[in-house]
């Protein structure tokens, strides 16, 4: 997809949103952030802090989990996303890769990739082929296994496939939820390289990641969520030097040594 001119470049604006599950469970309160065109923004926080909820709110999948944006606004470029469904988000250029490598185990790699473009009307066959070639260039291992059932892939290969399936929709903003979770260190490094390459090709990224060192090395800007609220925000390199982030998320003690 051609890159938008700088003065028309879409950016994600999350403006003072509240999110509630059911009738009473408050998950996010007055959360704001921006992901600029071509940027990488990281979300850090403990389990239950609201990171995945924020991604769901942006991608339109929140209602599938009985959640709702009850205040505030989510805009991507000129499109209002809060209250919309996932198809509307994908058509606007926003695609989520959920936590847990949710591939279709009984389908082949090729069949999984084809599902990534469903719901997008008026796509020329040449666009679909271009998207597929991009994915297989990023992930040569998927090209080698394109006829293999997804359920027979390793965990790292399934994560590659989940990201590749999202890229089939040619997103301008990719929402990544814990892409390194449960992967071996070498595969974590490979996933980080892929995120850098995807971003270098012009796709913005909103990254939720428990591996704070990896997230901060990839991001331009970062936010720390605690119990549904943004507690810290700033350039990723600056946050990585703060005592709180070093102690709580990078495993360092006050003197800079690794925590026991």
Q: Is the Cβ–Cβ distance between 98 and 91 less than 8 Å?
A: no
Predicted pLDDT of residue 124: 74
CA–CA gap between residue 156 and residue 139 (Å, rounded): 11
**pLDDT digit string (tens) for the chain, length 260 residues:** 444 444 457 899 999 999 999 887 899 999 999 999 999 999 999 888 999 999 999 999 999 999 999 999 999 998 999 989 999 999 999 999 988 878 999 999 999 999 887 766 566 788 888 899 999 999 999 999 999 999 999 999 999 999 999 999 999 999 999 999 888 999 999 999 999 999 999 999 999 998 999 999 999 999 999 999 999 999 999 999 998 888 887 766 544 555 43
Q: What is the CATH number of domain 10-248?
A: 3.40.50.300
- Parse the chain into domains and list their residue ranges: 10-248
The predicted structure's pLDDT at residue 5 = 43
Question: Which pLDDT belongs to residue 117?
Answer: 76
Q: 221-226 and 40-44 as β-strands: parallel, antiparallel, unpaired?
A: parallel
Exposed, middle or buried, 25 (CB in 10 Å: 0-12/13-18/19+)? exposed
The confidence score (pLDDT) of residue 126 equals: 83
CB neighbour list of residue 77: distance below 8 Å, 6 or more residues apart:
10, 11, 92, 93
pLDDT of residue 120: 64
């Amino acid at each position: 997809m051609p890159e938008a001119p700088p003065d028309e470049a879409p950016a994600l604006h999350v403006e003072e949103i509240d999110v509630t599950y059911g009738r009473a469970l408050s998950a996010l309160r007055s959360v704001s952030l921006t992901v600029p065109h071509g940027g990488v923004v990281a979300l850090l926080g403990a389990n239950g802090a609201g990171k995945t909820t924020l991604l769901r709110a942006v991608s339109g999948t929140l209602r599938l989990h009985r959640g709702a944006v009850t205040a505030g606004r989510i805009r991507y470029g000129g499109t209002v996303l809060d209250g919309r469904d996932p198809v509307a988000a994908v058509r606007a250029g926003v695609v989520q890769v959920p936590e847990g490598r949710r591939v279709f185990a009984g389908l082949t790699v090729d069949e999984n990739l084809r599902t990534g473009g469903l719901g997008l009307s008026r796509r020329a066959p040449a666009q679909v082929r271009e998207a597929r070639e991009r994915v297989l260039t990023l992930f040569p291992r998927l090209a080698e296994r394109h006829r293999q059932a997804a359920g027979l892939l390793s965990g790292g290969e399934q994560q590659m496939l989940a990201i590749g399936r999202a890229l089939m929709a040619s997103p301008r903003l990719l929402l990544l939820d814990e892409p390194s979770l449960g992967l071996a260190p070498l595969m974590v490094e490979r996933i980080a390289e892929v995120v850098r390459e995807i971003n270098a090709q012009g796709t913005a990224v909103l990254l939720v990641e428990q591996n704070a060192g990896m997230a901060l090395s990839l991001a331009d800007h970062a936010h720390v969520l605690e119990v549904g609220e943004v507690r810290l925000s700033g350039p990723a390199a600056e946050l990585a030097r703060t005592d709180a982030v070093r102690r709580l998320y990078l495993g360092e003690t006050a003197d800079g040594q690794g925590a026991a």
